[in-house]
Amino acid sequence: MKLTQTSFPAGQYMAEEHPKRQIYIHHTAGNADPFGTFQYWAGNQERIATCVTVGGLPKQGSNWQDGEVVQGYSSKYWAYHLGLKESTFYKFNLPYKSLDRISIGIEICNWGQLTYKNGKFYNYVNKQVAASEVCELPIPHRGYKYYHNYTNAQIDAVKELLLLWRQRYNIPLAYYADIWDVTPRALRGDAGIFTHNSVRYDKVDVYPHPKLVAMLQSLS
């Protein structure tokens, strides 16, 4: 698959190789710009990043395409992308495990949860989102019924990445419905696909978009 390389400071990730067992799918809670996400991460001091971002719908004059995968560093390296809390492990009587080292993260450029007010949809920074870009879930996910839509191109790009990393790292892609909430499988470091919800109670990424769920189920 095509990966667009972007400049990313070497000090913002760890150029250390660890065996990869897990893949976590995130969304940025931001705009559609996959390059801008790396620029934002480059300004932090905590080495928080994922190796790839997946661009959303471009506007006139944008320098990316819908579903374009932008890579800042190799998937064989790592950075902090999970924000793990020891209390979550202890709830399941599990010892804390540094999962960032053994996992690969994908960031879909997407605003995430939306609020419906006076006939319009707003993201969490109170910017309006077009109704054509809204996904209404049949069952609310972590308290929200409306979310910014993942595009078909983004879902296709995530599929290509998952297949690539299965081939490269032998990570199994079987679908389990527990990935939309905290699961001991993720906390134990079991091999497979997970979402940020799988290790955090305070996150909503990614949400169970019907087309994303169908894509993940098709990989089993």
Instruction: For residue 124, give the DSSP letter.
Output: T
- Identify the pLDDT of residue 45: 83
Instruction: Find out whether 147 and 138 touch, Cβ atoms under 8 Å.
Output: no
- Distance of alpha carbon 197 from alpha carbon 178, whole angstroms: 9
* pLDDT confidence of residue 189: 98
pLDDT at site 97: 96
**What is this structure's pTM?**
0.97
Sequence-distant (6+) residues with CB within 8 A of 211 are 150, 152, 155
User: What is the model's pLDDT at position 49?
Assistant: 98
Give the DSSP H or E segment for 157.
helix 152-169
pLDDT at 176: 98
Provide the pLDDT for residue 101.
98
pLDDT lower than 70: segments of the chain: none
Nearest residue to 217 (alpha-carbon basis) of 176, 161, 172: 176
Q: What is the pLDDT of residue 216?
A: 98
CA nearest neighbour of 196 among 18, 66, 24, 48: 24
Residues in CB range of 202: below 8 A, 6 or more apart = none
Residue type, 187: L
For the 4-111+148-218 domain, the top CATH level (class) is alpha beta
Decide: 104 and 137 in contact? Cβ < 8 Å: no
CA dihedral (162, 164, 169, 171) positive or negative = positive
CA distance 75 to 20: 9
